[in-house]
Amino acid sequence: MDFSGLKFDSAGLIPAIVQDVENGQVLMMAWMNEEALRMTVRTGLTHFYSRSRKKLWQKGETSGHIQKVREILYDCDADCLLVKVEQVVAACHTGHRSCFFTSLEGEAMGTPVFDAGKVYGGAVPSEIVEKLFEVILQRRKEPSAGSYTSFLFSSGGKAMGEKVLEEAGEFVEASAQKDPEKVIREAADLLYHALVLLAAAGVTPVQVRGELQARFGKGGFEEKESRKK
């Protein structure tokens, strides 16, 4: 198919809004490059492009909650896709039918339709870090009023670094109190602020994982010594 009429951005991507073909509910939003769009058309199942992992992914490849494509439209500016699908079970990894279930006041609307812990092997899927990082990148590119992430970017690198140090201190303090729930909360806060600082530095979680993978199998002292060479 010829997609030359579509306006992909400078990174070769176009936003795709996924909608339930039966009731019109907006299920999710993700990015497609031309290859992902071709795969979607060819297979009849939604495929997207992960900006953080820099690779294609198929919706439902882990959970089995695939999206069967019924129609693909684009808007009047040709820079956004609307993908109408038959959704198997749910679109959101949290267990909700739609990814759009939180109000601006922070209130969760509706209830999950499946147990995310069981579906993803007892834990939230690792992709949550990439999903969060994508949101952080979006807030950096397009600041939003009232967004804490946008506020952090506007405060500058020094302030962001100080915030990471503050969160690290709270994490250490929580671990000393031996309160598992508090440790989890503080660890999540620290990870989030570290991801913001990574984005500011132009580094992705994928690159960090690559560094950890390169170190894997080496003793800690051996690895530190190798950095001096």
* 221 pLDDT above the threshold of 70: no
Bridge partners, 86 (sequence order) = 68
The whole-chain average pLDDT of the chain stands at 88
Determine which of 57-66, 93-102, 138-147, 214-223 has the lowest per-residue pLDDT on average. 214-223
Which tens digits make up the pLDDT trace of 34-58? Answer: 999 999 999 999 999 998 778 889 9
Tell me which CATH code domain 14-119 carries: 3.10.20.810
Where do the domains of the chain lie?
14-119, 127-226
Which tens digits make up the pLDDT trace of 166-196? Answer: 999 999 999 999 888 899 999 999 999 999 9
CATH 1.10.287.1080 fits 127-226, yes or no: yes
CA distance 32 to 40: 9
CA distance 149 to 143: 8
Report residue 133 as tokens.
Answer: 């990082």
pTM of the model: 0.56
* 96 pLDDT above the threshold of 70: yes
- Taking residues 16-25, what's their average pLDDT? 97
CA distance 218 to 169: 28
Calculate the CA 141 to chain-centre distance.
15
- The pLDDT score that the predictor gives to residue 26 is 98
* 223 pLDDT above the threshold of 60: no
* 145 pLDDT above the threshold of 60: yes
CA distance 187 to 171: 6
Percent above pLDDT 70 for the chain: 91
